[in-house]
Amino acid sequence: MKDYITIIGGGLAGCEAAYQIAKAGIKVKLYEMKPIKFSEAHSNKNLAEIVCSNSLKSNLLTNACGLLKEELRRLDSLLIKIADETKVPAGQALAVDREKFSKRVTEEINKNPLIEVIHKEIENVDCDNEIDSKNGIVIIATGPLTSEKLAKEIGKIAGEDKLYFYDAAAPIISKDSINFDIAFYGNRYEQEKKKDETTEEWMERQNNQEKSYINLPMNKEEYENFWKALVEAEVVTLHEFEKREIFEGCMPIEVMGKRGIDTLRYGPLKPVGFDDLRTGRRPYAIVQLRQDNSEGTIYNMVGFQTNLKFGEQKRVFSMIPGLENAEFEKFGVMHRNTYINSTKLLDNTFNLKSNNNIYFAGQITGVEGYVESIASGMVAALNAISVFRDEGKKQEKNKIIFSEYTVIGALAKYISTENEKFQPMNANFGILPELEGKKIRDKRERYMKLSERSLEYLK
């Protein structure tokens, strides 16, 4: 085995991985194509460039991303440490001076004698004697804007005929926040009342329905009020290169709605095959939520891929009957994003199942967000270190697996658990196992208990 570990990509995940590996006394070759070549969204020559918002979200332990940052602090994350050092006033959030942040990360990486930064575009994971996944460990952390040539090579490595080239994700909602005085379980056509059924028999059958879908019926007035708010809501401005790729493969619900007041009723909100349990009649429109994790604690909004601003999503989608108090664990997003089908390809150490020497890290794995990318780089690096020290003999006992009770572990489990409807996921309390014992209704108290449990498991 080679006497160093290769990392492709000098973003947040790649830099965190490089630091952790070097801290373990192992040499690193870190490949970054900037400033030789820039993607459409990058402009800073430094490593760990923050492209979009400068916010790393909340610092509070009653917020899942705040908890994730605290987990990383306790694990000596270089990038979280530098984020704390370069922070700017942002209330309860951790926001950074993006120029100072990238500059500081670059300085720390460059001054480490065990890390060699090579500015070169990589087009093949086995392109020369340096990068050789047959005889050395490689961490691929090329981000959501992976170059076209390398993306094709990754597809070959992963054994997939294509990658997901854009992120068109619908909002995800905590099941506990759904109003079941209105909502009901059931699948299309299986939920309609049969002619020979009594009302009692019909109701009993609904109570025994499979829990994979939750349905939210709307009457005419409710639907039309929702439609009006939807088509008038503010949207996020996309880059031109994103518009070309995204709209060819996906239609945002607000764009669909603008085609006519009844368009949604013949599309994702069609009421055919359902009866409203409150009236016994077919509703005017219906919104379906589909189970999103094996525990059934979070559900996504079927057909609600959207480009609305996050605040607008909260306002407009909360108008849907049954979602008036909805807790959005993840808002819908639409942007250029290359990611692999991790649920089939990776284990919960971010290791490629078909090649023990290859790890993936960052948003290419389907974790979404700055801090989440840093966490994936940490997990991939710690496991790469373990394999390296064991001379490549990948033994189950040598895997470093974080508990699912931590956000780090819950994210790793989510992206590695088979899911036919897989979409990128950020840190949220919905992916953590529920608290045992009496249910805590107060949200802040419940979240603090989850955080305390997580940090105890992290020990």
Per-residue confidence in pLDDT tens, the chain, 459 aa = 789 999 999 999 999 999 999 999 999 999 998 888 776 656 678 999 987 667 899 999 999 999 999 999 999 999 999 999 998 877 788 988 888 999 999 999 999 999 999 999 888 776 555 677 778 999 999 887 777 778 888 888 777 655 665 656 789 899 999 999 999 888 775 655 666 777 677 666 666 655 568 999 999 999 999 999 999 999 987 665 555 555 444 678 998 999 999 999 998 999 988 887 777 789 999 999 988 776 788 888 988 988 899 999 999 999 999 999 999 998 887 766 778 889 999 999 999 998 889 999 999 999 988 999 999 999 999 999 999 988 755 555 589 999 999 999 999 999 999 988 788 899 999 999 999 988 898 989 999 999 999 999 999
For the chain, give the number of residues.
Answer: 459
Is the alpha carbon torsion for 228, 234, 240, 242 positive or negative? negative
Instruction: Write down the pLDDT at residue 239.
Output: 60
Report the Cα 93 to chain-centroid distance in Å.
Answer: 19
Q: Would you call the peptide bond into 268 cis, given omega within 30 degrees of 0 as the criterion?
A: no
Tokens standing for residue 132: 């050789």
Nearest-angstrom CA–CA distance, 372 and 293: 18
- Alpha-carbon distance of 183 to 56, in angstroms, equals 34
Long-range CB contact pairs, 454-459, < 8 A, 24+:
454/67, 454/71, 454/405, 454/406, 454/407, 455/67, 455/70, 455/71, 455/74, 457/403, 457/405, 457/406, 457/409, 458/71, 458/74, 458/75, 458/402, 458/403, 458/406, 458/408
Alpha-carbon gap, residue 155 to 48, rounded angstroms? 24
pTM for this entry = 0.73
pLDDT score for 249: 46
The pLDDT score that the predictor gives to residue 248 is 45
Pair 289, 297: CB distance under 8 Å: no
- The CA-atom distances, in angstroms, between 268 and each of 172, 264, 275, 303, 326 are 16, 6, 16, 5, 20
